[in-house]
Structure 1
Amino acid sequence: MTQELKAAIILNTTFVHPAKFYINGFSNIPNVKYFYILLCFIYIMTVVGNVFLLSVIYLGKNLHTPKYMIVFNLALTDLCGSTALIPKVLDTFLFDRREIVYEACLSYMFFVWFFAGLQSWTLVTMAYDRFIAICFPLRYHSIVTKPVIAAVLLFEWVVSLAVIGCMAGLINRLSFCASLVIQSFYCDHGPLFRLACNDTSLNYIMAYVVVIAIVFVPLLLIALTYVCIGIALSRIASAVERLKALKTCTSHLILVAIFFLPFLGTNLAALISNIHPNARIVNSTLTHTVPSLLNPIIYSLKTEEVLTSIRRLCKNNRLRNWLIQ
């Protein structure tokens, strides 16, 4: 396609949308199929862990509280986020189906980023819950109620839908008249809009907006809540009581570290420098998949209420089996 034709297309605001894109994936890495087999194992364990946690919260009457509404939402978004990403990655590379229809590519990108955003803001909601519980313990049950948490979570879903929908919609105004090879392992936003041959300034701005909205603002809010928690704990005279209060935050702090540190590193490197495609693929894959795998394990093993509920459910199940026999 000549430069004159490209200019005519841009001037006439006619957008050139290809029928398909080609997802490149790794380049020049031997035995890469073992990595995809690892992803398959991660996905299976993610589904098992999150479905188990969702079932425990649903069946355990003692877990029908605002706090575990948030945990339920996190497990649900973990499950949906992994399902949006990993099965398609496995289908793309294990079965060598690297071509993807234009509309399917945009949908793919939307759902991966949508659930990543929900995971991030659910961690903020968890921080808010811990902040109220420690800083205003006497007013906790009047502030953190089921309707309030339901409204907060619904608001997060709606805002994430709007922001990520806008990000995906701006791709639709681009013309792709050169390379159609996406240098990533899925239809990632950055590698995709950089293939366009018309003005991508709005897409660059949107990329910064999304990273700020998903990473920096949530991380700042979580940091501020823990500063307030630290100040509140410093006023408690007993070291035993301080330690007991702090232990209620350990699971959340581990989740925050697991989610934000890799996500922050990967996206900062991608925004400020030309990260090698292979390094981006490895970092992005683990960033999107490992937190979803570890979250239910952390909440199952480190949270006393969940362990108590599991023991009760097992005891009731044994009693039911004994009565049937």
Structure 2
Amino acid sequence: MENFTFNSFTLQLEGLNVSKYWMYPVFFCFFFFYLFIMITNVGIVVLVFIDKSLHQPMYLLFCNLPVNDIVGSSIMVPRLLSDILQPPSERLISYYECVVQAFISHMFGTTCYTVLMIMAFDRYVAICNPLRYAAIMTNKMVIKLTVFAWGVALVLVGILLGLTIRLNRCRTRIMNPYCDNASLFKLSCESVVINNVYGLTFTVILFTGSIGSTVLTYAKITVVCLTSNNKSLNSKALKTCSTHLVVYLVLLFTGFINIILHRFPQYSEHRKLVLIMFFIVPACLNPIIYGIQSAEISRSLSKLFRSKKLTPLS
């Protein structure tokens, strides 16, 4: 028979099941991933901030991604690193810390999609309405789009977690490497039908809106490119849109794998690894993809390094 502890404020994280032989290799692997995420993403944000040539809507909107990656990775990876070195019985977390971690982890996932939606809108205006781009994509519009991306995520995730924290808890074990909404409401012995319905609605709205807007945007961009004889326009469209599309597909793939593995309990360890990769893989790839593909960012980086080399030592 299962032992119940009602409304305990101390929870136990199951974490990753890592043998003693693999404990330190896994720890250092995730540590270097986190270090890479922080250096590259913070570097991109600082570069855009200090280089006035990058003060363009495209790069200002893109800055939302590295900021989101920094926050999302920081709420999950350090805690994961700490738990890897702890025996399973000592992987304890307070209920309030768990709720905060769940809130930020869902904000991270949702904001990834909403930011890519507003970036797709920017590319649509740049390619389909190039003459009106400066008039449409003003600083005010950039602020509005940024508020939309974070505001929509805040409302959707706020309701999601609000429905969960109202429940009484009778269990204390989180069956994940970190806290999320599903893990929290599974601690309850009450009916969670509302949580499941809203969670499904949340997912459908997010994926439908994200995929629908991206498909529509790229369909219109494709039509413009096919009907235009402007090779310069087509080259620009291919370069900027391929970057955005690669980032989006990576995020979509990891998100779908996540959802699919939730339906197969026998692959719980695989699911845990995919959950972690959802935070790590896009956060590692975003600065690489944009840094390599963007001529402006590459030029700004090379200019920065050249200026450091030319700086006199005395």
**If the length of structure 2 is used for normalisation, what is the TM-score?**
0.91
Q: Is the 8 Å Cα contact of residues 60 and 313 (structure 1) preserved in structure 2?
A: no
- State which of 237, 243, 267 in structure 1 corresponds to 2:229: 237
Distance 2:124 2:251 in 1: 20
Worse-matched range after superposition: 159-168 or 303-312: 159-168
| 1:221-236 superposed matches below 5 A | 221-236=213-228
Task: Determine whether 1:151 maps to 2:144.
Answer: yes
- 1:80 alignment counterpart: 71
Report how far residue 173 of structure 1 moved: 1.7
Report how far residue 241 of structure 1 moved: 4.6
1:275–1:209: structure 2 CA closer, same or farther, 3 Å change rule?
farther
Task: Determine whether 1:249 maps to 2:241.
Answer: yes
Q: Which runs of 5+ in 2 are unaligned?
A: none
Task: Determine whether 1:298 maps to 2:289.
Answer: yes
- State which of 184, 193, 199 in structure 1 corresponds to 2:176: 184
Q: Is the 8 Å Cα contact of residues 211 and 267 (structure 1) preserved in structure 2?
A: no
| 1:54-73 superposed matches below 5 A | 54-73=45-64
Q: Which amino acid aligns with 1:45?
A: F
Distance 1:47 1:210 in 2: 30
Report how far residue 238 of structure 1 moved: 5.1
- State which of 103, 113, 121 in structure 1 corresponds to 2:106: 113
* Identity within the alignment, %: 27
Distance 2:233 2:34 in 1: 39
Q: Which amino acid aligns with 2:241?
A: C
Report how far residue 318 of structure 1 moved: 3.5
Q: Which amino acid aligns with 1:18?
A: S
- State which of 15, 19, 30 in structure 1 corresponds to 2:9: 19
1:215–1:90: structure 2 CA closer, same or farther, 3 Å change rule?
farther
| 1:189-228 superposed matches below 5 A | 189-228=181-220
Q: Is the 8 Å Cα contact of residues 37 and 283 (structure 2) preserved in structure 1?
A: yes
- State which of 91, 95, 99 in structure 2 corresponds to 1:98: 91
- 2:118 alignment counterpart: 125
Report how far residue 215 of structure 1 moved: 3.3
1:275–1:63: structure 2 CA closer, same or farther, 3 Å change rule?
farther
Distance 1:294 1:159 in 2: 25
Distance 1:214 1:94 in 2: 36
Report how far residue 206 of structure 1 moved: 2.5
SS of the aligned residue for 1:301 comes to: helix
Task: Determine whether 1:285 maps to 2:294.
Answer: no
Distance 1:142 1:155 in 2: 19
Q: Is the 8 Å Cα contact of residues 114 and 153 (structure 2) preserved in structure 1?
A: no
Report how far residue 275 of structure 1 moved: 5.7
- 2:26 alignment counterpart: 35
Distance 1:274 1:149 in 2: 43
For residues 116-166 of structure 1, the C-alpha deviation after alignment (integer angstroms, 9 at most, x for no partner) is 211221111111111111111111111111110111111222221222122
Distance 2:235 2:266 in 1: 42
For residues 90-141 of structure 1, the C-alpha deviation after alignment (integer angstroms, 9 at most, x for no partner) is 1122234411111111111001111221122111111111111111111111
- State which of 163, 166, 170 in structure 2 corresponds to 1:173: 166
Distance 1:244 1:114 in 2: 32
Worse-matched range after superposition: 46-55 or 191-200: 191-200
1:268–1:214: structure 2 CA closer, same or farther, 3 Å change rule?
farther
Q: Is the 8 Å Cα contact of residues 65 and 112 (structure 2) preserved in structure 1?
A: yes
**If the length of structure 1 is used for normalisation, what is the TM-score?**
0.88
SS of the aligned residue for 2:31 comes to: helix
- 1:135 alignment counterpart: 128
Report how far residue 224 of structure 1 moved: 1.4
Q: Which amino acid aligns with 1:44?
A: L
Q: Which runs of 5+ in 1 are unaligned?
A: 7-14
